[in-house]
Amino acid sequence: MQKEKVQTVKPVGLDVRNRFKKLRIHKPWQPLIIKIGFGFSLLSFLTILGLLILFSLLKMSWTNITNIEVFENIKTMTIAIFTLSLVFNLLITFSWFLTDIEQIMTNKMQFMLLSILSGAIINIGILIYIFKKYQVQKRKTSITWRGFWLKLGFRKLTVYDIVLCGVFTALTIVFAYLEQFMPGLVGGGGLTFKYLGLIILGVAISPALSIIVGICGALLSLLFVGSTLIISPWSFILDYFIPMMIPGIVSILRFTITTKKSYINYLNYIIVGFLTFLGIYIIQTLSGYYIWVAMAGGPAWGNNGVVYSVVYNALSIWPFNYPLTQIIMVPTIKVALLVNKGKF
């Protein structure tokens, strides 16, 4: 007689617990400093969430503002700022939950930027402590000018580079032209995708090429931008020339972005997109006040020209341009990385 094979059956509860252990990411043996960082980031998240709810319920009667338009615009901008801060607080909270000392030391800039953008002041101090405690002495390497420029993406242009510049310049011009048909604000500015190609070019291929294409795109935009939108050379420089260079300048930071699916990789996507639009927002806010309000005598809320420029440009960039570009740039950069793999 053949012996029947006896199949041992594991208890269902034990099997579920084993699977749960495999799925656990936050390890209980991590240093206490990691848990402290997670706790403070969670506290910061809850604080910002409370402020967001408070400002969402804010009424004009609670303030000294008498103009309903001014109040609504300031309220909208404040809600947008707290919403962005809440998103970055959520990111830094998850980062502390998922991370370990090795990942923090490998991605110092990402953790520090997220802490700054989320307003998690205590976490900044914790990160500085970790950086000093776990720093590793690295061998000093001499930096040559050639190596410096190569890191920035400056190299001898090939035919392929020139073709890429032409293609992305045309793409940028098309998006800039279509901007006039997109939803926008009365005083100019609105939904646009003209920075998308520059971000892709800077991150996936070369920051230098992105800067070159941005300059070409800004100069060619003079052909179809209305004269009412460019009232002086400074207006062109602050509203078009410098903003079109910012995607390339941000990509000089050389965040490690690959086609792999990883938390840090997607984190780098978010940081690149946010820093790009933050730079554009700062430059255009300066233009809004010094060029359009102070010099040209443009619209302002009484003597609040600064507030007008800050709020107006915030409404132009943060509610639509940044989120949409941020979403689209992830798959497009991945495609660009795959297409150009091994060509540089």
Q: Which two tokens stand for residue 289?
A: 């006040």
Tens of pLDDT, residues 283-294: 988 988 888 777
* DSSP-assigned letter for residue 137: P
pLDDT score, position 23:
38
Tens of pLDDT, residues 211-239: 999 999 888 888 776 656 677 888 889 88
Nearest to 95 by CA among 76, 78, 112, 80: 112
How far apart, in whole angstroms, are the C-alpha atoms of residue 243 and residue 237? 8
Of 33 and 295, more confident: 33
pTM over 0.85: no
Tens of pLDDT, residues 93-106: 988 988 888 888 88
Give just the sign of the alpha carbon dihedral 177, 334, 248, 325: positive
pLDDT score, position 7:
47
pLDDT score, position 77:
79
Residue 256: CB atoms within 10 Å: 12
Tens of pLDDT, residues 243-277: 999 999 998 876 667 777 777 888 888 889 999 99
Instruction: Cite the DSSP H helix spans in the chain.
Output: 12-23, 32-56, 68-98, 101-106, 108-118, 121-133, 145-151, 159-178, 196-204, 207-220, 233-236, 242-251, 263-287, 305-317, 321-339
Tens of pLDDT, residues 144-187: 666 666 666 666 667 877 888 888 888 888 888 887 788 766 66
Q: What is the four-CA torsion angle of 221, 211, 260, 147, rounded to 10 degrees?
A: 170
Length of the chain: 344
Q: What is the four-CA torsion angle of 49, 51, 57, 58, rounded to 10 degrees?
A: -160
Name, in order, each residue with C-beta under 8 angstroms of 161's C-beta and a sequence gap of 6 or more: 206, 209
Residues in a beta bridge with 304: 301
Going by pLDDT thresholds of 50, 70 and 90, the confidence category of residue 8 is very low
Residue 138: CB atoms within 10 Å: 6
pLDDT score, position 39:
92
Tens of pLDDT, residues 58-93: 888 888 877 787 788 788 878 888 888 898 899 899
Mean pLDDT, all residues of the chain = 79
The helix/strand/coil state of 64 is coil
CB-CB contact of 153 with 206 (8 Å): yes
pLDDT score, position 4:
47
pLDDT score, position 227:
59
Name, in order, each residue with C-beta under 8 angstroms of 89's C-beta and a sequence gap of 6 or more: 41, 44, 45, 48, 118, 119, 120
The helix/strand/coil state of 34 is helix
